[in-house]
Structure 1
Amino acid sequence: MKILITGGAGFIGSAVVRQAVEAGHEVVNLDALTYAANLESLSSVAESPLYAFEQADIRDRPAFDRIFAAHRPDAVMHLAAESHVDRSIDGPALFIETNVTGTFNLLEAARTHWQATGKPDGFRFHHISTDEVYGSLGPTGKFTENTPYDPRSPYSASKAASDHLVRAWGETYGLPVLVTNCSNNYGPFHFPEKLIPVVILRALAGEPIPVYGDGSNVRDWLFVEDHADALLTVLQRGEVGRTYNIGGENEAANIDLVRMICAELDTLRPEGAPHDRLITFVTDRPGHDQRYAIDPTRIRKELGWRPSVTVEEGIARTVRWYLDNEAWWRPLLDREGVGRRLGTKA
């Protein structure tokens, strides 16, 4: 397949690009190269004849027409999005422009291309979303594909809106769409504003490790390479019009995850041990969802997919990757907002 991947220089997008190229697909990576993007994450495939890069902003509708005409993709995987909840609290307008209007622009460009090429049966528009659209769970229960939407942050509301747009284009225009909603991703190449890289890099620097509230918030942790594998599986074998929830089957409270990282660092960098002495509880995020958990029954039964990496294995691999790849993450610490507490304007 020739796949147009938006946001391919981001964390999840770059993992999908790498796996798609390694599997023999042609990939066109469309990315605006905003603050969280890094083309260094694609160095392993950048010289491949199967890889092409287009710098464009998904808010720029005319750019899409040019790119679709030039590359004529067989499928679209839409990962480009503003994704950091704290940034959405401080500046929600950009999230609406990118995640809602940008998705609309891409849908219209894809629909135009699909119709102009005779509506090929094999074309797919795969929209990648988040479990945060479902809101917050109590101590029991899990999100299914039929869970009502209940977004609680500007970020999750913007993703919920984009999900609805994609389904509407499928129902109204017949565009062959797929939607996936995933749990919290982690792993190598993660931009250093999210919890796990923040913990690793703060601990390495001997600085306080910030934990929101009392650290009891629970997430289902999905290793990013598992997620990329699931996304390509859905793209190739998923039923048109279907939604698939993708989870890691690895629930953990934030504080337990932080202590797991610290224990791994105690082993690998004993000179800084015990690293958990650096844990510092800070004022909670406004509207912080208490718990997310995915029921992955549909993707397991229909497509035969399950995650392969436990959270213990994934954390060990992730910590080692950051220790071995300072040249990748060190320059990112100077980017706007990194290292500062965001999301307090509410």
Structure 2
Amino acid sequence: MTRRILVTGGSGFIGTNLVQHYVDLGCEVLNLDVMPPRNPHHAGHWQQIDILDLDRLRAATQAFQPELMFHMAARTDLAGSSVADYRANTEGVANVVDVARELAALRGVVFASSMLVCELGYLPRDEFDFRPTTPYGESKVLGEGIVRREAAGAIPWVIARPTSVWGPWFDVPYRSFFNAVARGLYLHPYGVRVRRSYGFVYNAVFILSKLAENVEHDAAGRVFYVADYEPVELRAWAEKIRRAMNAPRIRDVPLALLRVLARAGDALKRLGISNPPLSSFRLRNLLTEAVYDLEQTRALCGELPVGVDEAISITVEWMRNH
């Protein structure tokens, strides 16, 4: 069994769960991140390293000599005005490839990309069919290109594109969604059914671990979406969350009202409030169906360990304690 696991961005949401997964397996785990761990129990696994600092990144990886790497570190918000604001997603990727090529014991690297290499709801024809609509998405397209050009023939690699992932240690936007349901503030557009490929974080970690196990073989040089295999219907998912929380009933309201509230949220953003409950951008996302083809992920990784009802129960219990 692989014993030394390096996670860049292991203080982030998915990274925190990835670190815990391998700690639970008894592995030696190193988290390289500019931010301290979300989980205070991970403090002993953390080194404060910026992936843009090539010399310190090289020194840390050479000292640790990992057998597997997960490159999760990234700037993930959508507030940047240009690709230049997302150097971590381009130069940072190049730095990780650079140091990985020098690691004698390394079996391979799982590089985290994003579903937003394409417009939300757009189903790409193949892994090279990109249609980003944000500077963040553009930066992830460039990052994938760096992996393909600079890692090819040098290290085994696989690219993972997580979709909308939720669960313990999450933050905006999905913790906000759970909180809104809990307080009876979630309003659903009347008569609208939207299906989404969401992913519970324990299942996402399971998929990432399977990709790592196969990075030298069936997964090598390929791209996999990371989500639960069966999409959720948003209204039904919200209702399951409501019941698990014993929350007030969900109100179905006319779409016109939600558009008014979204415009009010836009105005709040212009006044400097960064995270209003609703905005035109969030409403558009809420109304966009996005179901991805996960058959090749299922074929490689097998069935997922946690169903949606259990996942909601786990998440609600975690929220009560955090």
- TM-score between both structures, scaled by the size of structure 1: 0.74
Deviation at 1:9, TM superposition (A): 0.9
Cα distance per residue 1:110-148 (max 9 Å; x no partner): 22x23xx3xx5x52121012222233436xxx5575461
The question of whether the paired residues in 1 share the 8 Å contact of 2:76 and 2:136 is answered with: yes
The question of whether the paired residues in 1 share the 8 Å contact of 2:151 and 2:157 is answered with: yes
Given the alignment of the two structures, is residue 135 of structure 1 paired with residue 119 of structure 2, yes or no? yes
Deviation at 1:263, TM superposition (A): 3.5
Deviation at 1:277, TM superposition (A): 7.9
3-state DSSP class of the match of 2:281?
coil
Cα distance per residue 1:9-63 (max 9 Å; x no partner): 1110011111112122211100111xxxx624252x556xxxx321111122221
Aligned residues: 294
**Taking structure 1 as reference, are residues 210 and 151 closer, same or farther at Cα in structure 2, changes over 3 Å only?**
farther
Q: Provide the identity percentage.
A: 21
1:246-257 correspondence runs (5 A): 246-257=226-237
3-state DSSP class of the match of 1:250?
coil
Given the alignment of the two structures, is residue 322 of structure 1 paired with residue 322 of structure 2, yes or no? no
Q: Which residue of 1 aligns with 2:267?
A: none
The question of whether the paired residues in 2 share the 8 Å contact of 1:143 and 1:293 is answered with: no
**Taking structure 1 as reference, are residues 213 and 160 closer, same or farther at Cα in structure 2, changes over 3 Å only?**
farther
Q: Which residue of 2 aligns with 1:296?
A: 294
Deviation at 1:261, TM superposition (A): 2.5
Letter in 2 for 1:308: P
Instruction: Find the partner of 1:229 among 206, 211, 214.
Output: 206
Q: Which residue of 2 aligns with 1:66?
A: 59
Q: Which has the higher contact order (CA 8 A, sep 6+)?
A: 1
Instruction: Find the partner of 1:199 among 149, 173, 177.
Output: 177
For residues 243 and 125 of structure 2, what CA distance do their matches in structure 1 show?
Answer: 33
Letter in 1 for 2:205: A
3-state DSSP class of the match of 1:24?
coil
1:110-125 correspondence runs (5 A): 110-111=100-101, 113-114=102-103, 117=104, 123-125=107-109
1:250-269 correspondence runs (5 A): 250-265=230-245, 267=246, 269=247
Structure 1, unmatched stretches of 5+, are: 326-346
Structure 2, unmatched stretches of 5+, are: 263-278
The question of whether the paired residues in 1 share the 8 Å contact of 2:12 and 2:38 is answered with: no
Q: Which residue of 1 aligns with 2:27?
A: 25
3-state DSSP class of the match of 1:30?
strand
For residues 73 and 192 of structure 2, what CA distance do their matches in structure 1 show?
Answer: 29
The question of whether the paired residues in 2 share the 8 Å contact of 1:180 and 1:246 is answered with: yes
For residues 211 and 31 of structure 1, what CA distance do their matches in structure 2 show?
Answer: 37
For residues 236 and 295 of structure 2, what CA distance do their matches in structure 1 show?
Answer: 26
Q: Which residue of 2 aligns with 1:342?
A: none
For residues 202 and 82 of structure 2, what CA distance do their matches in structure 1 show?
Answer: 29
For residues 13 and 235 of structure 1, what CA distance do their matches in structure 2 show?
Answer: 14
1:139-154 correspondence runs (5 A): 146=127, 148-154=129-135
For residues 103 and 155 of structure 1, what CA distance do their matches in structure 2 show?
Answer: 14
Cα distance per residue 1:191-240 (max 9 Å; x no partner): 2x21x310233454x47447799976542111101111111111112332
For residues 74 and 196 of structure 2, what CA distance do their matches in structure 1 show?
Answer: 20
**Taking structure 1 as reference, are residues 14 and 211 closer, same or farther at Cα in structure 2, changes over 3 Å only?**
farther
Letter in 1 for 2:114: T
Cα distance per residue 1:142-200 (max 9 Å; x no partner): 557546121122222211211111111133x5222111122211111102x21x31023
Q: Show structure 1 runs of 4+ deviating over 6 A.
A: 210-215, 277-280
3-state DSSP class of the match of 1:80?
coil
**Taking structure 1 as reference, are residues 309 and 278 closer, same or farther at Cα in structure 2, changes over 3 Å only?**
farther
Q: Which residue of 1 aligns with 2:39?
A: 41
**Taking structure 1 as reference, are residues 250 and 92 closer, same or farther at Cα in structure 2, changes over 3 Å only?**
farther
Letter in 2 for 1:201: N
Given the alignment of the two structures, is residue 174 of structure 1 paired with residue 164 of structure 2, yes or no? no
Q: Which residue of 2 aligns with 1:333?
A: none
**Taking structure 1 as reference, are residues 284 and 211 closer, same or farther at Cα in structure 2, changes over 3 Å only?**
farther
Letter in 2 for 1:63: R
Given the alignment of the two structures, is residue 274 of structure 1 paired with residue 249 of structure 2, yes or no? yes
Instruction: Find the partner of 1:244 among 224, 229, 233.
Output: 224
Deviation at 1:288, TM superposition (A): 4.8
For residues 93 and 189 of structure 2, what CA distance do their matches in structure 1 show?
Answer: 31
Q: Which residue of 1 aligns with 2:18?
A: 16
What RMSD over aligned residues (CA atoms) do the two structures have, in Å? 3.1
- TM-score between both structures, scaled by the size of structure 2: 0.79
